[in-house]
Amino acid sequence: MSSKPNTSPWLEQVKWNADGLVAAIAQDAKSGRVLMMAWMNSESLQLTISSGDAVYWSRSRNKLWRKGESSGHVQKIHSIALDCDGDALLMQVEQIGGIACHTGRESCFYRQLKGDNWQSMEAVLKDPATMYKSVDQ
């Protein structure tokens, strides 16, 4: 494994997957509701900690993704915890604007399995076409 620049002991305790990523779960700090799961690399985790705002790694765009940079729905970090295996992060966040999902819903986890179908259990709070400066999903 090659050494990474700007590493610190706490960062080296994270067990990155083969792609250099770790799962990051964002949970509303007040309600406890799970809002979303995304990926972080070393750089995005360091930027998240230094800025206080969630920064993820977009696998589809292959670049850093600053949550809310297009929609304005920033996630303010309250705390970050590392699980017992070191391979997942749980972030307590304040979701600015109350929308975490790119579909315009509060949470990305808005579908439930009912029988053999996934059913939407949550209304769209804001039309995604009006949320994004440029739709780059």
Binding residues for Zn(2+): 84, 101, 108
**Nearest-angstrom CA–CA distance, 75 and 92:** 9
Joined together, the tokens standing for residue 59 give 């696998």
Q: Which residues are annotated as a binding site?
A: 83-85, 87, 101, 108
Q: Which residues are annotated as a binding site for Mg(2+)?
A: 83, 85, 87
DSSP state of 98: G
Spatial contact of 66 and 44, defined as CB atoms under 8 Å apart: no
Joined together, the tokens standing for residue 70 give 């297009």
